Structure 1
């Protein structure tokens, strides 16, 4: 089976009962973005050092307490990490920094730029490492939440008795040419395609000139166009980029459902909380979570290619099998299974090695 992603490599660093933790690696850049950071002590340091941006759904402990570990492994690195989340996140980050003494801060330390998302506006605050992580307001901006040549991130605010953000990652378009369209245009493949691809990846198609080859009778002639973007538009292969949806701790309501459909409809991979079984629907709704009945409704509306249920309530720790038995995916939707836990259980006192007795 072909992999659905060209550039992205999603890794869910949690089990069914663990705190949600999604890392999305961008293969061409060897960099990554992280969604939520609850219990993260099991991550290798090289994972932390690859993270460029973190997207927090909300500030409940199981989604946010691991930020201390991120700061611990990243603060002395000369780079800036973007942290996005709902309103109030900057004050929470300021409180985390204020918990520690930074009297040894050095000029090469890195920064954290915190962006509070409110509708279409992002309010930014820079916490500068060389300045002992003192807050420096940077104002508001609109436009794209986050992105580079290989991915873009969007969000929508839902309700969990507090604002909770759901995120969608879309892959950047790939450079693809359609052989049939090229033949119909009489355009011939050649070394010039490498230059066209270079301009594509550099984001320089618009306004760039390029020479290319095309059929002329029985032979081939060299042609020139001042608009490489228009040329590529004539021969490109149409393909819908793959995408990842991340949603957790969202109350099931008509308003939330419509917001989620608007953001995630047709997503390739949906990573979605399903906290309760159908028999506990009332408990799920009282605590503003979803049960399997709600997930089935959502899947019928979204029609993802794959769905990974996660964040099951710990009341089911003795038997998680019914969760998968109650999920009824529509045709074309594949349910992915994960183990109950990835993180190790706590160590018991009796398991601690005894110190060697001195004689």
Structure 2
């Protein structure tokens, strides 16, 4: 099964937290946290459609300015999501600059900011470059089951966690995954081509089975075209399987409520990106800082049933002891004492 996402940490595990999730079949990406973004070239930043910010400590938010600078003057938009108070914080960042010349910018860059509360009420603000980023309220909405973004192929879900301040954990959930049986295509005399993406799109948006699908391709014998009902192609050449889940959790205290919420969010995740800040010998220090130790992160991953665990957010005090952090989280995930 080929997932539609390609997730990668923005920085090395000792750097600022951040996860860049590229779409394999679209010119689009999602970003989780806005710390140091200098590792991302402009062409990657310009692919970002949505940014999900766990909380606004500096190492998770100061990269907003780089994002803004690269997007200014372009005819594009971006959506930001964050915890309570987030909209005002974005507004304050924008208010720190002078915008008297933005009318001359060729593109009408727009920022939509959504902040959510613990009752999953979302309040939104639109800020337009050509209007000097003055706040325009958007209609409030209720988020069912913590779902921040819901599209035909995937959804992004959040959980409220505790870091001494409200902090969001996130899961990207691919919906039904559509696999193509290439041998069955050949049996029907069909070739692969761009039309398969159109077929998959029709399935993910739950189009009726009678929807006509145009199968077309070009080879050395010229152009070919055939039309089938969607239902027939689903039965003959497609395999529908549950999609994968990618989870991102950082900056959380180790206590019962957090553990329960994280394990629910990350249950059976294909990939769990989880902070691994301290060794367990420094558990008291970790508790004071509201962070996880490697052992605690590993035990959470084990309880969640995550298939692959990628630790990050290592404390610089372990710059020469990275292998110990990795060994401790893996031992805990395996259930070793």
Q: Report the CA distance shift for 1:97/1:244 in structure 2 as closer, same or farther (over 3 A).
A: same
Higher helix share: 2
Counterpart position of 2:112: 113
**CA apart distance, 1:21:** 1.7
Contact 2:178/2:241, CA 8 A, preserved across alignment: no
Counterpart position of 2:49: 52
More deviation, 15-24/99-108: 99-108
What secondary structure sits across from 1:176 in the alignment?
A: strand
Instruction: Measure, in 2, the Cα distance between the counterparts of 1:190 and 1:210.
Output: 18
> Scaled by the length of structure 2, what TM-score is found?
0.82
Counterpart position of 1:237: 239
Alignment of 1:278-289 (within 5 A): 278-289=280-291
Question: What do residues 35-63 of structure 1 show as CA deviations (whole Å, max 9, x unaligned)?
Answer: 11111223211121111111100000000
**CA apart distance, 1:240:** 2.5
The count of residues paired between Structure 1 and Structure 2 equals 311
Identify unmatched segments of 5+ residues in structure 2. 214-227
Instruction: Measure, in 2, the Cα distance between the counterparts of 1:116 and 1:95.
Output: 15
Instruction: Measure, in 2, the Cα distance between the counterparts of 1:292 and 1:281.
Output: 9
Contact 2:111/2:128, CA 8 A, preserved across alignment: yes
Instruction: Measure, in 2, the Cα distance between the counterparts of 1:319 and 1:197.
Output: 46
More deviation, 68-77/310-319: 310-319
Counterpart position of 2:216: none
Counterpart position of 2:304: 302
Counterpart position of 2:32: 35
**CA apart distance, 1:97:** 0.5
Counterpart position of 1:63: 60
Counterpart position of 2:10: 13
Counterpart position of 1:152: 155
Counterpart position of 2:293: 291
Instruction: Measure, in 2, the Cα distance between the counterparts of 1:15 and 1:127.
Output: 32
Question: What do residues 39-96 of structure 1 show as CA deviations (whole Å, max 9, x unaligned)?
Answer: 1223211121111111100000000011011111112211110000101111001100
Aligned-residue Cα RMSD (Å) equals 3.0
Question: What do residues 184-222 of structure 1 show as CA deviations (whole Å, max 9, x unaligned)?
Answer: xxxx846599989745413252263459xxxxxxxxxxx
Contact 1:75/1:111, CA 8 A, preserved across alignment: no
Q: Report the CA distance shift for 1:5/1:12 in structure 2 as closer, same or farther (over 3 A).
A: farther
Q: Does 1:166 align with 2:163?
A: no
Q: Which of the pair has more CA radius of gyration? A: 1
What secondary structure sits across from 2:25 in the alignment?
A: coil
Question: What do residues 10-45 of structure 1 show as CA deviations (whole Å, max 9, x unaligned)?
Answer: 121211210012110112112111111111223211
Instruction: Measure, in 2, the Cα distance between the counterparts of 1:96 and 1:273.
Output: 27
Contact 2:32/2:51, CA 8 A, preserved across alignment: yes
Contact 1:32/1:50, CA 8 A, preserved across alignment: yes
**CA apart distance, 1:297:** 1.6
> Scaled by the length of structure 1, what TM-score is found?
0.78
Identify unmatched segments of 5+ residues in structure 1. 183-187, 212-223, 333-359
Task: Tell which has more relative contact order, 1 or 2 (C-alpha 8 A, sep 6+).
Answer: 1
Runs of 4+ aligned structure 1 residues displaced above 6 Å come to 192-197
